[in-house]
Amino acid sequence: MSNIVDPLVLRIAARVRTERERRRWTLAQLAEASGVSQAMISRIERGESSPTAVVVGKLSAAFQLSIASLVALPEEAQEDTATGAAGVRRLADASEWRDPDTGYRRRQITGPRFPAEIAEIRLPARTRVPYPAAAFAFVRQVVWVLDGRLTFHEGDTVHELDAGDTIELGEPTPRVFANTTDAECRYAVVLSRGTQP
Mean pLDDT of 109-136: 88
Q: What pLDDT is stored for residue 82 in this prediction?
A: 46
Mean pLDDT of 69-87: 53
Least confident of 29-38, 76-85, 88-97, 170-179: 76-85
Mean pLDDT of 135-143: 84
Establish if 21 belongs to a structural domain: yes
Confidence of residue 165 (pLDDT cuts 50, 70, 90): very high
* pLDDT at residue 29 greater than cutoff 90: yes
Confidence of residue 196 (pLDDT cuts 50, 70, 90): very low
Establish if 80 belongs to a structural domain: no
Residues 189 and 114 in one domain: yes
Q: What percent of the chain has pLDDT over 90?
A: 45
Q: What pLDDT is stored for residue 71 in this prediction?
A: 73
Three-state secondary-structure class, residue 38: helix
CB 123 within 8 A of CB 177: yes
Strand partners, 108: 119
- CATH of residue 165's domain is 2.60.120.10
Q: Which residues touch 34 (CB under 8 Å, ≥6 apart)?
A: 41, 58, 59, 61, 62
Three-state secondary-structure class, residue 1: coil
For the chain, the domain total comes to 2
Please state the pTM of the whole predicted model: 0.74
Establish if 79 belongs to a structural domain: no
Q: What pLDDT is stored for residue 68 in this prediction?
A: 73
Of the candidates 94, 102, 160, the one whose C-alpha atom is nearest the C-alpha of residue 126 is 102
Residues 183 and 131 in one domain: yes
Strand partners, 105: 98, 122
Domain range enclosing 18 = 7-70
Across the chain, mean pLDDT equals 84
Residues 180 and 135 in one domain: yes
- CATH of residue 26's domain is 1.10.260.40
Residues 175 and 124 in one domain: yes
Establish if 76 belongs to a structural domain: no
Residues 111 and 179 in one domain: yes
Three-state secondary-structure class, residue 136: helix
Three-state secondary-structure class, residue 190: strand
Establish if 86 belongs to a structural domain: no
Residues 110 and 185 in one domain: yes
Phi, psi of 39, deg, nearest 5: -60, -45
Q: Which residues touch 117 (CB under 8 Å, ≥6 apart)?
A: 66, 68, 108, 110, 189, 190, 191, 192
Confidence of residue 3 (pLDDT cuts 50, 70, 90): low
